[in-house]
Structure 1
Amino acid sequence: MRPIEVVDRLGRWSSGRGPLYVLLAARLRQLIDDGDLPPGVPLPPDRALASALAVGRTTVVAAYDLLRAEGRITRRQGSGTRVAGVPSGVPPEDAPVDPIFLDSLEARDDDVLLAICAAPGDPPPQLADAFRAIAPELGRITDDIGYYPYGHPTLRQALADRYTARGVPTGPEQVLVTNGGQQALSLLAHALVSPGDQVFVEAPTYPGALEVFREEGAVLRGLPVGLEGLEEAIRERRPALAYVIPTYQNPTGAVMSALARQRVAGAGIPVIEDEVPADLGFPGEELPVPMAAYGDSVISIGSLSKSIWGGLRIGWIRATPPLINRLARLRAVHDLGGNVPSQLAAVHLLPLLDGPDLHDTLKARHDHLHALLTESLPTWEIPTVSGGQCLWVRLPYGDGISFAQTALRHGLAVLPGTTLDITGAGDPHLRLHFRAHPTALTEAAHRLTTAWSTYNPPTTRQHPRPSIAI
């Protein structure tokens, strides 16, 4: 594509806050995601685009580097810079696996098993019971227009009581109910991050969070799981915030110690504590005290999507009242408020988080999938976990992206580790969830085994051990 064509499509890209390279990357990202720059399209060389835009070459190089780190473009010596995707002449089955959202969130019409989105495959029977229980309450509502930008008071109080019982004294004024944990992340990123701001994340981490921060033009910096080295990193680079999953970390299943939680909470920057997986412990595992117990700089988010059902769309944010007020104003601009019947039903469903059914089922399905994989794929590294929803497996050779393409040709969609790790250390990994029914897990293990027996990686070198265990 000629530089002038790219310039025409870019339009006004420099009118905004933040470094020029971040703004340029943000506009190119939008064009790629919207399909205006389709997969395989060549982008102008650094110098040519810099000249056409009247900016320094370093601006274009930095923008391209950001997009390459996100997997949106490829840069190879001799073949130039291209939008990532399917070059002409490559068969559709070799298309990259969609790492997050869209293709992985809706049921497919074909025979492909989805092992990408780690969430309950169907709602529990108690969900219907909860909606039946609130029917009389709905019938008694009068003089209520039904808009609650902060969330329904009954659910806000129930969530505040739950935090208080877990060792974090909380009032309802510190709780904002959202449409799932993803909206909670989006609101916080929009409120706290400006283009060019640095955000510290674990490597690897939840890919939905990476996408949220990138949409706000953040520059992501990866630290080991548990945000090891956070204090030194803060001294070198003053970040806007840090994001961490301290309990049953997605994807590794790691659990931070109380001492590590205190360390991160006291680092002197805002910290988003993602507690969405925190209720997914196996039987006998004690639920750790939230990181929010150690300081007001910690902002907690939670959700029922992974513990009850994603279709319920109930999430929340726990923070200081001034931040909750700010987020409620921002949220009202987007959707005025959430679904009231779902929020009332959620009050009846919260006790399920502490009941045995959820935890027993998680443990049984983890053990089932782990046993199948260790027997049929003995060369894979497949650590066990004590809670959560994922196995973070390491391939003995090859890479996650090329193997995910092979698995897709055998009817299984898996998440390659590269999409979860901005440092590149996740390249030999896959994230496999164990939330499906045992029959589906058995079939997934069979298809994985078949795919591995046919796998022909781009390179057969053995993966070196990482210097820091994750």
Structure 2
Amino acid sequence: MNGANLDDLVDLLGRWASGRGPLYLLLASRLRVLIDDGVLPPDEPLPPDRVLARRLAVGRGTVVAAYDLLQQEGRVVRRQGSGTRVAALDLPATRTADGVPANPLMQHILHPPDGVQLLTCAAPHDPPAAMFEAYEEAAARLKGTWDLGYQPAGNPALRAALADYYCARGLRTTPDEIMVTTGAQQALTLLTALLVAPGDTVLTESPTYPGALEAFRHASAVVKPGTPEQLRERPALAYFVPTARNPDGAVMPNSERRRLAALAAQYDVPLIDDEVCAELCFSGETPPPTAAYGPGNGQVEQVVTVGSLSKLVWGGLRVGWIRAAAPLVSRLSRLRAVHDLGGEVLGQLAAAALLRRLDEVREARVRTLRARHDHLCAELRERLPSWSFEPARGGQTIWVRLPRGEVDAFAQVALRHGVAVPPGRSFDPLGGHAGHMRLHFLFPEDELSRAVNNLAAAWASFDGAGRAVSRHALIV
């Protein structure tokens, strides 16, 4: 990078060191924003470690650590002899019509590639009839009222319905312990903003939901993979998906669930129990929330439960929630009020109506998902017998391992054959699982067959090599 460009980068970094936390995390956080916003475009060279360190008046180790972290996330590529560059994006439509680079996290939503099956977005496309009926009921209920929706904690009717829902699952809950959010992703973002400071450690499983990893990284946290036993190290926050885990559909045994709750209580670690897919167990039984595994069936106050209707009902139903101790809900509500005075009222009233028909909606969705899961597994075994995977026990996705090569490179070949797949590095806090990918089974059987046929054609032409590219397509 020449002197002029170095000056430009320093100007773009601005007051990057003015926040709290280790300098390398603050530098990585600012560079991450510049990359994700397209200000630093694909293939843009970044200054050598020593050059940037000297210009920023920091130790070389600060720059090296920041670059290494961004490399783990797939945002930069570092090669000896050729330096550090922003990761290339060999995907279509990386710029908007006005020439502004699109955020790579959003490109498959903002600019869907023509004729490509998106296996990157695991959200149901086919809402049930019950949802439309719930909206009709909600509209009738709303008519004649003057509810403006300025309720940061959520609509009272929905908070009461969610409290009843958790009581029925063995976790005593009052409406004051419920906060409604615009989807589970907002819930994770609010919790991270409140509980995590720059430089704090967040403990997660691996693999895990990449949307959570992004929220933690943007808070300049140090994200570490681990097991429940590592709660002994007292991280600032822990994040687990015990039921129908995204990406592999695993279900944590009750004994381990109880151990997880006990460790969170013993070491006073806030623990997020992500239950977004909890109602999608193929057994037809939904385990109790982790917070219900306290001594004598009491609740564990350190456990914060996050839920949503977007996976059970429809991806476009942006209604999620947080179940937590009332003081924490109050703090979260004050934080949300700064940015968002409240969610859309009609959707919240429809969600309350849907909760009354939960058994009906769940049984239909699980029946459909189980059939599509079995179909996808059968197709993979027949067409791609060298690929390995474990059948899911719930949820919407399976976790597949290639026998050779990295999925970053295979994903480009698959895209040219009409299928977009999310590489496994996105699901690992340290950028591991390079040979894995997540496949969802939300499409009807004929579309799943077509996707597998295209994947098989791509695999037949894949030699296990290829240039690695950014994995940050939208993955939910």
Q: Same fold (TM over 0.5)?
A: yes
- Letter of the aligned partner of 1:108 in structure 2? P
Q: Does 1:379 align with 2:378?
A: no
- Letter of the aligned partner of 1:255 in structure 2? V
Contact conserved, 1:270 with 1:297, CA < 8 A, in 2?
Answer: yes
The aligned counterpart of 1:271 is 271
Contact conserved, 2:74 with 2:431, CA < 8 A, in 1?
Answer: no
Q: Aligned-pair distance for 1:100? A: 7.8
Q: Aligned-pair distance for 1:285? A: 3.4
- Letter of the aligned partner of 1:357 in structure 2? A
The aligned counterpart of 2:287 is 288
The aligned counterpart of 2:444 is 437
Q: Aligned-pair distance for 1:155? A: 0.5
Q: Aligned-pair distance for 1:108? A: 2.5
The aligned counterpart of 1:102 is 106
The aligned counterpart of 1:365 is 372
Deviations 1:164-209 (A, max 9, x none): 1101100000000000001001100111111111101111111111
- Letter of the aligned partner of 2:82 in structure 1? S
- In 1, Cα distance between equivalents of 2:308 and 2:197: 25
The aligned counterpart of 1:339 is 344
**Aligned counterparts, 1:10-159, within 5 A:** 10-86=13-89, 101-105=105-109, 108=112, 110-142=114-146, 144-159=147-162
Q: Aligned-pair distance for 1:94? A: 13
- In 2, Cα distance between equivalents of 1:352 and 1:452: 43
The aligned counterpart of 1:465 is none
Indicate the SS of the match to 1:266: helix
- Letter of the aligned partner of 2:258 in structure 1? Q
Indicate the SS of the match to 2:70: helix
- Letter of the aligned partner of 1:281 in structure 2? C
- In 1, Cα distance between equivalents of 2:284 and 2:244: 11
The aligned counterpart of 1:326 is 331
Contact conserved, 1:100 with 1:208, CA < 8 A, in 2?
Answer: no
Contact conserved, 2:194 with 2:332, CA < 8 A, in 1?
Answer: yes
Contact conserved, 1:281 with 1:388, CA < 8 A, in 2?
Answer: yes
- In 2, Cα distance between equivalents of 1:104 and 1:46: 33
Q: Aligned-pair distance for 1:425? A: 3.7
- Letter of the aligned partner of 2:177 in structure 1? Q
Q: Does 1:300 align with 2:320?
A: no
- Letter of the aligned partner of 1:261 in structure 2? R
The aligned counterpart of 2:247 is 251
- In 2, Cα distance between equivalents of 1:25 and 1:376: 42
206 and 310 in structure 1: CA distance in 2 versus 1, 3 angstrom threshold: same
Q: Aligned-pair distance for 1:351? A: 4.1
- Letter of the aligned partner of 2:213 in structure 1? L
Indicate the SS of the match to 1:311: coil
Q: Aligned-pair distance for 1:211? A: 0.6
Structure 2: where are the runs of 5+ without partners?
A: 95-101, 294-299, 467-476
- In 2, Cα distance between equivalents of 1:375 and 1:100: 34
Contact conserved, 2:22 with 2:198, CA < 8 A, in 1?
Answer: yes
- Letter of the aligned partner of 1:257 in structure 2? P
Greater relative contact order (Cα < 8 A, sep 6+): 2
TM-score, scaled relative to structure 1:
0.91
Q: Does 1:261 align with 2:269?
A: no
Q: Aligned-pair distance for 1:141? A: 1.1
- In 1, Cα distance between equivalents of 2:432 and 2:206: 8
Instruction: Say which of 208, 226, 236 aligns to 2:211.
Output: 208
- Letter of the aligned partner of 2:449 in structure 1? T
Indicate the SS of the match to 1:317: strand
- In 2, Cα distance between equivalents of 1:448 and 1:324: 45
Sequence identity percentage: 54
- In 1, Cα distance between equivalents of 2:255 and 2:202: 22
- Letter of the aligned partner of 1:141 in structure 2? T
- In 2, Cα distance between equivalents of 1:241 and 1:103: 30
293 and 104 in structure 1: CA distance in 2 versus 1, 3 angstrom threshold: farther
Deviations 1:3-27 (A, max 9, x none): 3332122111111111111111111
Q: Aligned-pair distance for 1:140? A: 3.1
- In 2, Cα distance between equivalents of 1:39 and 1:155: 44
Indicate the SS of the match to 1:14: helix
- In 1, Cα distance between equivalents of 2:431 and 2:38: 26
- In 1, Cα distance between equivalents of 2:374 and 2:381: 10
Indicate the SS of the match to 1:344: helix
Q: Aligned-pair distance for 1:56? A: 0.9
- Letter of the aligned partner of 1:421 in structure 2? D
Q: Aligned-pair distance for 1:442? A: 1.4
Q: Does 1:354 align with 2:356?
A: no
**Aligned counterparts, 1:384-403, within 5 A:** 384-403=391-410
Deviations 1:279-324 (A, max 9, x none): 1112x43211110113110000000011101211000000011110
Of 100-109 and 323-332, more deviation after overlay is shown by 100-109
The aligned counterpart of 1:423 is 430
Contact conserved, 1:402 with 1:457, CA < 8 A, in 2?
Answer: yes
Contact conserved, 1:352 with 1:358, CA < 8 A, in 2?
Answer: no
Contact conserved, 1:13 with 1:23, CA < 8 A, in 2?
Answer: yes
Q: Aligned-pair distance for 1:403? A: 0.9
107 and 122 in structure 1: CA distance in 2 versus 1, 3 angstrom threshold: farther
Q: Does 1:7 align with 2:3?
A: no
TM-score, scaled relative to structure 2:
0.90
- In 2, Cα distance between equivalents of 1:35 and 1:85: 12
Q: How many residues align?
A: 444
- Letter of the aligned partner of 1:177 in structure 2? V
Deviations 1:418-454 (A, max 9, x none): 1111234411111000011222111111111111111
330 and 94 in structure 1: CA distance in 2 versus 1, 3 angstrom threshold: closer
The aligned counterpart of 2:98 is none
Q: Does 1:165 align with 2:168?
A: yes
Contact conserved, 2:38 with 2:103, CA < 8 A, in 1?
Answer: no
- In 2, Cα distance between equivalents of 1:100 and 1:289: 37
Deviations 1:327-349 (A, max 9, x none): 10111111100011100011111
Indicate the SS of the match to 2:17: coil
Contact conserved, 2:93 with 2:107, CA < 8 A, in 1?
Answer: no
The aligned counterpart of 2:471 is none
The aligned counterpart of 1:449 is 456
The aligned counterpart of 2:469 is none
Indicate the SS of the match to 1:302: strand
Contact conserved, 1:201 with 1:242, CA < 8 A, in 2?
Answer: yes
- Letter of the aligned partner of 2:288 in structure 1? V
Contact conserved, 1:4 with 1:52, CA < 8 A, in 2?
Answer: no
- In 2, Cα distance between equivalents of 1:334 and 1:128: 30
- In 2, Cα distance between equivalents of 1:352 and 1:407: 40
- Letter of the aligned partner of 1:8 in structure 2? D
Deviations 1:325-376 (A, max 9, x none): 0110111111100011100011111244422211111101101111111111
Q: Aligned-pair distance for 1:30? A: 1.2
